[in-house]
Amino acid sequence: MPSSSSTFVAGLTAAALATVGFLAFQASANMPADLAEPRRGAPAKAAKAPGNIASTALPDDSGVGERVVYALMADRVWLVAADGRVKRTFKVAPGSVDPLPGSYSVGSRSGAITGTDGTPIEHVVRFAEVDEVVIGFSTALDGSLPEPDPRVQTGGIRETVADGDAMWAFATIGRRVDVVR
């Protein structure tokens, strides 16, 4: 026959587990829609793509002034002059972790390093961090634009060599980076 103290502990444990389960359910039921969407690479993401994401037109909700604009759904970047003119636009190959939409600024740069995937890269322009994964633009020295490996948490947004050169010249420390869906 169990002792009264072990019965009491078992009862407390059961009550605690029930409370945690209830709170987890409540949190998931009240989660904002943008947080509940699947991460990059999940099949459902393509079905939610708005309009023509292949467009090279600067998104309407991309801020004002001199900035880098990064559109997550289009995997496209715009380098925008102070007067609002697009200096350059190009496609990119994102990593497996996306930054959240919002306004950031370039916090650090590196001329040449090894990427988290082991590839030698150059012209690294870092602007965000998500769950301890650093997000930034870079160019692979071998010119590769790989598909993200969903098993590895990477924040490198790869560009061609020519586009990486343009980003490096434009996105200096403090330059604003506006991320839009």
pTM above 0.85, yes or no: no
- Predicted pLDDT of residue 12: 52
Q: Would the pLDDT of 114 be above 60?
A: yes
Q: Which residue has the tokens 């023509």?
A: 52
Q: What is the arithmetic mean of pLDDT over 16-31?
A: 41
Torsion of CA 158, 159, 165, 167, to 10 degrees: -80
Q: Which residue has the higher pLDDT, 8 or 117?
A: 117
Answer whether 105's CB lies under 8 Å from 178's CB. Answer: no
Q: Which residue has the higher pLDDT, 135 or 40?
A: 135
Residue 135 burial (CB count, 10 A): 23
Answer whether 142's CB lies under 8 Å from 119's CB. Answer: yes
Q: What is the arithmetic mean of pLDDT over 90-113?
A: 97
Distance CA 99, CA 101 (A): 6
For the chain, what are the domain ranges? 4-30, 52-180
Q: Would the pLDDT of 23 be above 80?
A: no
Q: Read off the tokens for 164.
A: 């990486």
Answer whether 152's CB lies under 8 Å from 96's CB. Answer: yes
DSSP 65: S
- Predicted pLDDT of residue 94: 96
The CATH code that applies to domain 52-180 is 2.40.440.10
